[in-house]
Chain A
Amino acid sequence: MARDETFGKVMEIIGRYAKNKDAIEGATEDTNILEDLKVNSARLVDVILDFEDEFDIEVDDEDADAVNTVGDAVTLIEAKLA
């Protein structure tokens, strides 16, 4: 799967939980999921579990701890799919 395609799916999932809908439009890989997109930290686990379902991967807590930006999420998913 191309990185752009992964990015698009990641943004689609994060978009369900983001409170800052305006920031979704201009999001890049450097966009911080909690601070910029205003995803509630309590919801971040739901985002990660949606990644698991969407990409058929398993993410543990240690992996999830490294996810701060959209790019981190894309990198994690690509590594799991490799």
Chain B
Amino acid sequence: MTDLTRRARLALWVQREVGRVLSVFWIPASAFALRYVMGYRIKNVARLRKRFRALMAESDEPVLICANHLTMVDSMLVAWALGGTWWYFFHYRRMPWNLPEYRNFTSLWFGRAAMWITKCIPIRRGGRREHVSAVLKRIKYLLSRGETALVFAEGGRSRTGRVQLDSIAYGMGRITSSVRNCRALVVYLRGDRQRTWSTVPAMGDSFYVDFEVLRPHSERTGMRRSREFAQQIAQRLVGMEEKYFARRK
């Protein structure tokens, strides 16, 4: 069952397939930019990817990646850190769909084109509820079809540099509570030199990345259930952040 029209489903299919064909260009180009232009490095990357790939091989159940958010390239970093480059050619459905802020990327035509090719569905955060709902419906549909999506647990970049429980994105609870068997892959990402939020991380930065799988649960129904799901995901992220800072001491 889906709330999407046939036209909307077809549009997503076309977007996915065009992106998949072009992925031989854009995935390596993105990885090259992160690794060799920006000089970023993921700590313990081999072990991290082994864990992630094993997890993905375990089950076909839908996965919603819920990450913290400090810079505008976090979604690229998370995808690169977890899957690498070549692995996505053979597991393209595991390349996460993203929900970038509409205003950040759509002022120029090539920005819009790049977003479309790279599995992005722009969203106006804080926009009209009908628009936000329509975007969430598309993500729910994609997850139910075995695709993977990434949302930021706080909606926008954290203004304090730490996970902000007072601005958690209800949408991630709404998605995980309404997509059957949906797992939340809670991801904590942070560069060593990342003190607070910024546009991009410092060049040459090294990133700590960790993830945990969560199956939120609630005895409640409706919006309260979704809110509890979102709170559980955010609380897990806070715990992971505390673990990160405890290790740094």
Q: Does A48 count as interface, using CB distance less than 8 angstroms?
A: yes
Instruction: Report yes or no: A42 in contact with B169, Cβ–Cβ below 8 A.
Output: yes
Instruction: Report yes or no: B169 in contact with A64, Cβ–Cβ below 8 A.
Output: no
Q: Are A34 and B223 CB-contacts (below 8 A) given A61-B133, A65-B132?
A: no
**Complex Cα spacing A62 to B223, Å:** 10
Chain A, interface size category, equals 20 to 34
Q: Does A24 count as interface, using CB distance less than 8 angstroms?
A: no
Chain B, interface size category, equals 20 to 34
Instruction: Report yes or no: A45 in contact with B223, Cβ–Cβ below 8 A.
Output: yes
174-231 of chain B: CB within 8 A of chain A: 174, 222-224, 226-227
**Complex Cα spacing A35 to B167, Å:** 16
Q: Can you name the residue of chain A whose Cβ is closest to the Cβ of B177?
A: A61
Instruction: Report yes or no: A61 in contact with B130, Cβ–Cβ below 8 A.
Output: no
Instruction: For B167, give its contact among A42, A49, A62, A65 (CB under 8 Å).
Output: A42
Q: Give the chain B neighbours of A68 by CB distance below 8 A.
A: 128-129
Q: Does B100 count as interface, using CB distance less than 8 angstroms?
A: no
Q: Give the chain B neighbours of A40 by CB distance below 8 A.
A: 126, 166-167
- Shortest Cβ distance from B32 into chain A, in angstroms? 36
Q: Does B125 count as interface, using CB distance less than 8 angstroms?
A: yes
Residues in B lying within 8 Å of A, measured CB to CB: 125-126, 128-130, 132-133, 154-155, 166-170, 174, 222-224, 226-227
